[in-house]
Structure 1
Amino acid sequence: MKKNIYALILIAILLLLFLDRCTAYNITTNDLFRSKDLKNSKSLIEKPQSKNYEIVLVEGTFPILYDTINNEFYVSNNKGLTKYDYFGNIVISDDLAKEKYTSVFDFANFIPYVFAENGVYDFSGKKLVYTKFLQILNSQNEIKDADFKLLFEKYYNDAEIVVYDTARNFDYQADNLPMYFKIKNNWILLFSQKGDNRFTHSLSSEFETETIGQIDFLNFPAKFADKRLIVLKDQKKRIYSTKQIGEEIDDNYLKMYSTQLLKEQKFDYQSSNSIKLISRKKDEYYHTGGYFNFPDWFFPSFINTAYYQVVYNNESLFFKEKAIMYSKNLECESDLYLYELPKHFRTKSKVAFMHYAVNIGGYANDSTGIYEPIIKNAGLYILRQKLDRADLQSVSKKID
């Protein structure tokens, strides 16, 4: 009799383990085990809040850059930029969709300028300012080498700002690269000589090092004056807020490619702030498209609703979003990152950025023709103080 009871108990335990591990039923992850705070959690798009902070969707994407002089943040916005003040409020936002060429596709230079076909968009002030080029020279290789050398060196010596760009916007048959000079508030666009590869981004063997965020020309480095911007960092995952398409720039990358330097490597980004997964529940199987047509429970992967706690400046913000738990993993893959300023700049701004990077594809909506991602709320968010207009004025006076 006892053996039968033990056998039944064992079978029941194995059944519960099977249901919990291999099916979409929630046993150990049931709502019964969740606190009221977690059950009432908002999604990221619904602005999760604490007493003094909130999380808000960002108008733009990587890179995330910071102006140490004016205490402002920049993110790439299609062909243009979006600028945020030190409270996390939008100052300027323009995607420059009307422009044929712009210089932000790879953001090779960390500066608040966007160079277009016929002029320069300056995002560094309180309003967006457009200045047409005073001159556009050598676009069709019309200048002889000796004359080019004299002209280039004169412009370089006279200019307070010199910026070199990449080749992807212009005439590939001309095989020259744009070089921008700001001289007495006028901008001049001079194209390099045909086939010149003395730029750091051209994989020239003449350069021993390359500074990420700044293209240089051999013996004539770029001049950014006080306009150079810096990147933020997720210290826990050691990733910098450079452009995130392709290979991420993290500490391991910089060790591997030791000839590529990032000036921010010397900064201290240590932080006690964090994002923690507190709880989860299974929603449905995630079909990974395996070669063999096994049943879902055989190698089960799940789309989960995950519940998170952001600990920021000793306050907690709770939210829920989708996460993936693959069959071979014991933890959810949530792909959440918290990008912060270096420690010595955090007294100037209480702003951080959060990236929710889960991407498992999507599908085309037949009725609208629009691509619909499976995970809806993936993207970049800003973590900022909740302040009303009176508070903003009061804090502004203290910081100024």
Structure 2
Amino acid sequence: MKKMIVIISVVVLFCFLFLDRCSIINITTADIFRPKAYKRFTSLKDSVASDKYVITPISSAFPILFDSIKSEFYLRNGKGLTKIDREGNVIITNSLHQEEYSSTANFANFIPYVFVKNGVYDFSGNEMRYHTFSEIINSNNEVKDEDFKTEFEKSYKEAELVVYETDQNIDLECQCYPMYFKINTQWKLIFSQKGEYRFTHLSNNLEAKDTIGQIDFEKFPAKFTNKKLIVLKDDKHKRYTIESPGMTRNTDEYFDTYYTQILKEKSFNYHSENTLKVLSYKKEKYYHTGGYWDFPDWVTPSFEVTAFFELTYNEEKLFFKENAIKYYSKSNIDKGIFLYELPEHERHKSKVAFFYYEGGSNYYNPQTGETESGANGLYIIKPKSKK
């Protein structure tokens, strides 16, 4: 009799563990085990708030940059920029969709200017201003080397700002690169000589240093004066706001490996006491990887779940729920959240931070016929508006 009881107990325990870990039935993750307060958690798209802070979606993209003098943030917005003040309010936003080309295509220089085919958009003030180039020189390689040297050195000496660009807007057969000079209030565009490769982003010299966010020219470095912008960082994941988390040229590991790539902010202290943790989760359905040779879902089950999060930011707690993935091979929820903050010495200027959520799965929307990313995307954490 006792043996039978033991066998039945083992079978019941096995069934319990199987249902809890391998099926979509919620047992240990059932609603009855969660505090009633969890029902008030809102999703990121619906805005999340505490007494002092609010999290809202922002329709912009990487890089995310900071003007340490004016305490303003800049984000790429299509072919243009979005500019945000120290309180998290949008000052200027313009995607410049009408332009054929813009320098934000690869954002090689971290400055508040966008260069287009016939001029430059200046986002550094309280409103966007457009300046048509006063001169365009050497667009067809028509200037002789000696005359070019004279013109270049004269312009460089007189210029307040000097910016070198990539060949994104250039006929590849031209083999030249645009160089922009701001002299007094006017902008001049000079194209380099054909086959000129003495720019830092092109150098094959192992001793040459390529500064991230600034293209230089041999013996004539760029002049950004006080317009150079700095990047934010997720200190936990060691990722900078140079580009989206899925890219590789934005981590401490990358800059440790490729030592000729210089990120000056790498020496800054970004240490943060702010934390994000998963309080609980509820299984919704199996997560399909889509592989042809996948085992049946219940053999190595991964789940799409509703995860309940607690973000502690500047000693304030913000709670939200969001779609996430619980992988079979991982004991914890794959949060996929990156919290980007200013370096410590700049945090007294602004309480704004950004985070990028990519923890959810994509889904098919039958109404639009497109695959959508749900809550995945970029968000801003900012102080609540004072009434």
TM-score after normalising by structure 2: 0.96
Once the two structures are superposed, the pairs formed by residues 215-294 of structure 1 within 5 Å of their partners are 215-244=215-244, 246-292=247-293, 294=295
Q: Separation in 2 of the partners of 1:37 and 1:353?
A: 26
Give 1:378's aligned residue: 376
Which string of whole-angstrom CA distances, capped at 9 and with x for unpartnered residues, describes residues 85-116 of structure 1? Answer: 00000000000000011000111111000000
The equivalent residue for 1:297 is 298
Structure 1 SS opposite 2:12: helix
Root-mean-square deviation (Å): 1.5
Aligned equivalent of 1:396: none
- Equivalent-residue separation in structure 1 for 2:205 and 2:259 (angstroms): 15
Between Structure 1 and Structure 2, how many residues are aligned? 386
Q: CA deviation at 1:218?
A: 1.0
Deviation at 1:146, TM superposition (A): 1.1
Give the secondary-structure state (helix, strand or coil) at the position aligned to 1:297.
coil
1:387 corresponds to 2:385: yes
Listed one character per residue, the Cα deviations across residues 263-316 of structure 1 (whole Å, up to 9, x for unaligned) are 111211111111111111111111112232532111211111111111011110
Give the Cα–Cα distance (whole angstroms) in 1 for the partners of residues 10 and 367 of structure 2: 52
The equivalent residue for 1:143 is: 143
20-29 or 87-96, which deviates more: 20-29
Cα deviation, 1:242-267, whole Å, max 9, x if unaligned, reads 11263141111111111111111121
Residue of structure 1 equivalent to 2:33: 33
Distance in 2 separating the partners of 1:322 and 1:141: 55
Q: Is the 8 A contact 1:107 1:243 kept in 2?
A: no
1:316 alignment partner AA: K
| Alignment correspondent of 2:63 | 63
Distance 1:252 1:22 in 2: 36
Q: Is the 8 A contact 2:118 2:133 kept in 1?
A: yes
Output one character per residue of 1:116-160: Cα deviation in whole Å (capped at 9) or x when no partner: 011100111100000100011111111111111111111111111
Summarize deviations over 1:150-199 as a string: whole Å, max 9, x none.
Answer: 11111111111000111122211212111100000100011111121111
Distance 1:45 1:293 in 2: 33
> What is the TM-score of this pair, normalised by structure 1?
0.93
2 CA distance for matches of 1:36 and 1:382?
28
Q: Does the CA-based 8 Å contact 2:163-2:180 persist in structure 1?
A: yes
Distance of aligned partners of 1:207 and 1:186 in 2 relative to their CA distance in 1, 3 Å threshold = farther
Partner of 2:52: 52
- Matched residue SS, 2:172: coil
Aligned residues of 1:207 and 1:218 also touching (Cα < 8 A): no
SS of 2:173 mapped into structure 1: coil
**Runs of 5+ consecutive residues of structure 2 not aligned to the other structure:** none
- Return the offset for 1:366: 6.8
Name the % identity.
50
Aligned AA for 1:223? Answer: K
Deviates more, 1:290-299 or 1:248-257: 290-299
Instruction: State the AA in 2 paired with 1:300.
Output: P
